[in-house]
Structure 1
Amino acid sequence: MAEVDFNVENIEPVIVHGPDAISQRDLMSPYVWKGPHDHDYRMMVRAVPRMGETGDTGTIWYAKSDDGLTFTATDRPAIAPGPGPEDAGGCEDPTVVQLPDGGYVVYYTGVAADGRHGEMLYAAGPGIEHLKKKGVAMASTPSEGNVKEATVDRTKAGRWRMFYEYAANGASLIGLATGPDVDGPWQHERQPFAPREGMWDNFHLSTGPLLTTDKNQPVMFYNGATEDARWRIGWIAFDAEYRKVIDRCIEPLIAPPPSPNRLATDIAFAASVVIAGGHIWLYFSRADRALFRATIRRYGR
């Protein structure tokens, strides 16, 4: 298989217009995908109270754009906390899967009323504005707590793979599960890759979006961090069935700009990938408050 490499050609801010319930909040987890027409882009995004404010840990909104940079949100959240206890504290981290029949499955993190315990939940429906909550998609286990941040793909062989973030021994790590369909049932597999000692991703890992234009060598733009949670975006390439790592970046692909304040939130976190006009657009959040789009070029070595 061919080795790969990437570089960043451009980074632009993503703007979201909408009611005060979204425009007056910080934004994270921009899951963007192409709509059925040219110049038609859709996004689900998490809106969180600004620093110092209280409230839920997030609501999930649906927005549209004709250029992939400026989006307009609907009048109300697509997924909001409650009424059940499993997400009464907040709704986070949307991942959208489009079905062949035109329907949608949306994986998201439900936070309990205590604001601490999270579980991977899912909603489904014929359209994003007609979703119904379906309950737990993948439960946490004694060894893998706070399961969240789904990344889902159907391989060439027809089986589904779900990458997810989980907590263990004070670290965030990435797990892998397999299933016969988009909504499982999911069976836990081995850890697909691990932190690397002495590197920028030596302690924490979290899932990111998959670039699957080459199904023989899918690539994940994953999130990695040191123990003090300085998150950067890197990439890792797999074989067709995600059984073997083919290649992995040495340095991060995207890092936040330097800050004079060492205590400032130092996070760049990838959420989605869109192919548009031959370009690779990687959507990410910075400092858990603002959205950006990076234009990425892929190279063969």
Structure 2
Amino acid sequence: MVKQLCLLFLLPSLLLAQAKPEKPWMLGPFQKENAYNPILDAKSGTTFYCPIRKETIQWEQKDVYNPAAVVRNNKVYMIYRAEDTVRSVGGTSRLGLAVSTDGIHFSRMPKPVFYPDNDPMKIYEWEGGCEDPRVVESPNGVYVLTYTAYDGDKARLCVATSRNLTDWHKQGLAFADDRNSWSKSGAIVCKRIGNRLVAQKINGKYWMYWGDQPQLRLATSDNLLHWTRLETSTGQPVVAAESRKGKYDSRLIEPGPFAMLTSKGILLIYNGMNADQNGDDNLPKGAYTGGQLLFDANDPTKLIDRSKTYFIKPDQPYEMEGQVNQVVFLEGMVPFKGRWFLYYGTADSKIGVAVANQ
């Protein structure tokens, strides 16, 4: 009887261990760490002297979400978006830094490491702030951050660099030739080298999937700093993938943490938004869930395969209700201690993590 009870108790975890992702090229299956989630949320009392407002504010008092992550010195470093309550509509966003030895329990640094300042980027970053970081490494060990600058009217994709994750140099707009178009969410193609995700050239160029549209777009670069939108001979954007009627990504698709070269091709975890009409009837309208795309390793424009359904969705109270309801937004992922740690924003309010075996 004792043996039978033990087997019954272990059955759910055994089934989970035996589960497979939807398709053999996909990562997963991922399991949310619900015993610990949310692993980070808003915090009162941490203060920062804002050089623009010229006053001390509680910089992460409103919401904390949408993190990037890297492994450095055998620790997970999370760069997360935090909002204050000062701005009249929403909050100004800054980027904080937290460190973990197990990928789940994090210690935060008391002040943001990246924020709007009285610098040349102020015109683009104030007063909406610096949003939604994604990080890879350059081949020579420099961290390359793509982030969204928001001036309260328009989002613009930007680039910054650092050697230590605390001291950052703003490199400017990713698309400097077009300062007046909406752009965001840049996921650079990289290759896993140990626990590092290192940007990798394909056909002599670095590549990036970007955008939050019904169509996923592409850009290329010689140096990871200055990017050129990929266009057809008639000047139209090259479309890497599109939203699908009746599916979880029926309204828009938006890149996740990064795009990764694998033995099967370029794998991109992405965020799909459900449309109000002609979407997935089993999901709430406007819900954000996660899917996966596979592109040709020698031709990043060529879509080989994609997930038929989502592999993660909002199903916890803090994912279903918050600043924006019904959201899991995937933005950070690292290989760490034999597992993949996938970090995501929950309802634009808190941060969760899901794990999968490597």
Structure 1 residues 134 and 196, CA gap change in structure 2 (3 angstroms): same
1:8 aligns to what? 30
Q: Is the 8 A contact 2:61 2:83 kept in 1?
A: no
Amino acid in structure 1 at the alignment position of 2:289: R
Q: Give the C-alpha shift of residue 185 in structure 1.
A: 3.7
In the TM superposition, residue 284 of structure 1 has moved relative to its aligned partner by 0.8
Of residues 348, 351, 356 in structure 2, which corresponds to 1:288? 348
CA distance in 2, matches of 1:204, 1:140: 25
The answer to whether residue 235 in structure 2 is matched with residue 187 in structure 1 is no
**What letter is aligned with 1:278?**
G
Alignment pair present for 1:152 and 2:188: yes
Deviation at 1:52, TM superposition (A): 10
CA contact (8 A) 1:46 1:61 kept: yes
Question: 1:161 offset after TM fit, Å?
Answer: 0.7
Q: How high is the TM-score relative to the length of structure 2?
A: 0.71
Paired residue secondary structure (1:85)? helix
> Comparing 49-58 with 90-99, which one deviates more in the overlay?
49-58
What's the offset of the Cα at 1:214?
Answer: 1.6
- What RMSD, in angstroms, separates the aligned Cα atoms of the two structures? 3.0
CA distance in structure 1 between the partners assigned to 2:301 and 2:124 by the alignment: 33
- What whole-Å deviation, never above 9, does each CA across 1:245-282 have from its counterpart, x for those lacking one? 22211111111017698x97111110022112221221
User: Counterpart in 1 of 2:160?
Assistant: 123
Provide the secondary structure at the position in 2 that maps to 1:7: coil
Equivalent pairs, count:
287
For 1:43-54, what aligned pairs fall within 5 Å after superposition? 43-49=78-84, 54=89
Q: From the superposition, tell whether residues 204 and 213 of structure 1 become closer, same or farther in structure 2 (CA, over 3 Å).
A: closer
Q: What's 2:46 paired with?
A: 19
Encode CA deviations 1:187-207: one digit per residue, 9 max, x unaligned: 324110000111111111111
Alpha-carbon distance change, 226 to 51 in structure 1, aligned in 2, over 3 angstroms: farther
- The percentage of counterpart residues that share the same residue type is 24
Shift of 1:50: 6.4
> 2:174 aligned to 137, 155, 166, which one?
137
Structure 1: gaps (5+ residues): none
Could you say what secondary structure the match of 2:166 adopts? helix
Runs (4 or more) in structure 1 with deviation over 6 Å come to 50-53, 258-261
Residue 254 (1) aligns with residue 308 (2): no
Q: C-alpha separation between the residues in 2 aligned to 1:176 and 1:106? A: 17
Structure (1/2) with the larger strand percentage = 1
Q: Which has the larger radius of gyration?
A: 2
Q: Which AA in structure 1 matches 2:291?
A: G
Shift of the 198–220 alpha-carbon distance from structure 1 to 2, 3 Å rule, reads same
Partner of 2:335: 275
